[in-house]
Amino acid sequence: MVQPYLREPEFITQLKDGTVKQLNPFSGTEVWTVAGRGNRPLGVALPDPVPLDPAQHGRHCAFCERRYLDTPPEKSRVIRHDDGGWETRYRTSADQLEATVAEFRRVPNLFEILSYDYWHLNYGYELPSRVRERKTAYLASDAGRDHVLAVVRAKLKAGGRSDAVIDAMGVEGQLEAASGFFGGGHDVIVARRHFVDGATDNTQLASSGTLTPEEHEHFMAFTVESTAALFDLNRYARYVAVFQNWLRPAGASFDHLHKQLVAIDERGTQHEQAMERLRANANIYNEYGVNYAAYKNLVIAENDHAIAFAGFGHRYPTIEIYSKSEAPDPWNHTPEELRAMSDMVHAMHAASGVAVPCNEEWHYRPVDSDLPMPWRVMLKWRVSTVAGFEGATKIYLNTIDPYALRDRIVPQLYALRDEGRIAAMKIATEAPCRPNPLRYRANRT
């Protein structure tokens, strides 16, 4: 029997008045960019420049390099030696925190999304023996004990408890409340800088795009390693959400560069929807992702192991970065593949600019799934506000259509490449855009 010819669906429709209607092939989200509503200023208004006080260097917020004791005990740090070499160190004691300067630190989130008690009470989760040993060793020193008690008190007071109530808990009760500092599932990867090196005023924030490509590579690799570590820590975790909120309009508590890693006990609705479509079409990420973007001339840049394009069907203007690797899991990428993804993500941040609030979201195969899928990173510009129209219709108004997004980013990439501020890559029409560049289907385990 002859099978009927099935034409690929149109996910982008351009109307005569300039309106662009989009449909997300993975989530089904409907998005319109209405003519005339996209001519809005991009980014946030930075404050009027105020000279920085040299005495406050390294002390601008709780994530800064001279306020290590404001965060819970760190799990690991990345340092850079004088000869340019990099090293990851683990289990730094309280009295050694100032012995080296951490380019990146992995610290527990003070206010976890899913607390230690969540895992303990719902699953019977207990601290693994190596974590208990770490907690005991850290608390064995006066410096470590004082550090933990101070942070516990700050957390409990922020939660509304008075000094009297905290004192009534006793020292052992307060230390018991610190279990999440050692075995919790919500970590923060904090970069060293609050402002760029040599900054003279408060508008010169340090973002992902202001890092060098080498620094960003270590930022990404450290995050990948830390993600895998959370799975090793908690056998009940089914997914670790990895994201970065840049600037307060995008949900950041501090305008200080950091990523967050949150272990959760479900895959999440978005991944369930994507997996349902993947079961029906194993090549969907090629066909409805990068292939479609290439046919619509939306590819922004490409290198040997990654490709970026202007996304479609998103509530916010979104740059999508896909790994071409056969490995579905970020921690199984080769160093060359990981560097290629890092270079691409870094370049998109640099081209977006420091003033644009954005979310960086990582998506990869859930650990309990046997379906291969590529690692992909979404960079979402938080430049619009979801309002009543969206709530009433579930049609979202995105003020920048994919073509306008491409046209904003591409010239910036050319300039950044010419200045040597991003890694070498093929930009826009330079990119080969071969069909089916994603090789995730080659690895079906």
Query: Which one of 261, 289, 308 terminates a domain?
Result: 261
Domain's final residue, options 261, 293, 325: 261
Do the beta carbons of residue 422 and residue 416 sit within 8 Å?
yes
SS3 289: helix
73 and 220 share one domain: yes
> Which helix (H) or strand (E) segment is 392 a member of?
helix 388-393
What tokens were used for 186? 């919500």
pLDDT at residue number 3:
54
Is residue 293 domain-shared with residue 229, that is, in the same domain? Answer: no
Handedness of CA 363, 364, 368, 372 (dihedral sign): positive
300 and 205 together in one domain: no
Q: What is the dihedral angle through the alpha carbons of 292, 398, 361, 430, rounded to the nearest 10 degrees?
A: 40
* One domain for residues 159 and 221: yes
Instruction: Give the bridge partners for 102, in sequence order.
Output: 79
* End position of a domain, from candidates 223, 239, 261: 261
Residues 197 and 163 in one domain: yes
C-alpha–C-alpha distance, residues 396 and 283, integer Å? 27
Instruction: Give SS3 for 388.
Output: helix
Whether residue 213 sits in one domain with residue 66 = yes
Residue 293 and residue 206 share a domain: no
Q: Looking at the structure, tell me whether residues 420 and 325 fall in a common domain.
A: yes
Q: Using an 8 Å Cβ cutoff, are 52 and 201 in contact? A: yes
Tell me how many degrees the CA angle 70-74-79 measures, rounded to the nearest 5: 105
pLDDT on residue 427: 98
State whether 198 and 303 are in the same domain.
no
Q: Which two tokens stand for residue 218?
A: 């270590």
The stretches in the chain having pLDDT less than 70 are: 1-8, 36-46, 443-445
Q: How are beta strands 186-191 and 395-397 bridged, if at all? A: unpaired
- Which pLDDT tens digit goes with each residue over 257-274? 999 999 999 998 888 888
The count of structural domains within the chain is 2
Nearest to 442 by CA among 339, 375, 373: 373
Q: Are 306 and 322 in contact (CB under 8 A)?
A: yes
Residue 342: what pLDDT? 98
- pLDDT of 264: 96
Which candidate, 255, 254, 409, places its Cα nearest to that of 317?
409
pLDDT tens sequence across 64-86? 999 999 999 999 999 999 999 99
Residue 250 lies in domain: 54-261
**pLDDT at res. 176:** 86
- What CATH number does the domain containing 74 carry? 3.30.428.10
User: Is 174 domain-assigned?
Assistant: yes
- Evaluate whether residue 333 is within a structural domain: yes
What are the phi and psi torsion angles at 426 (to 5°)? -90, 130
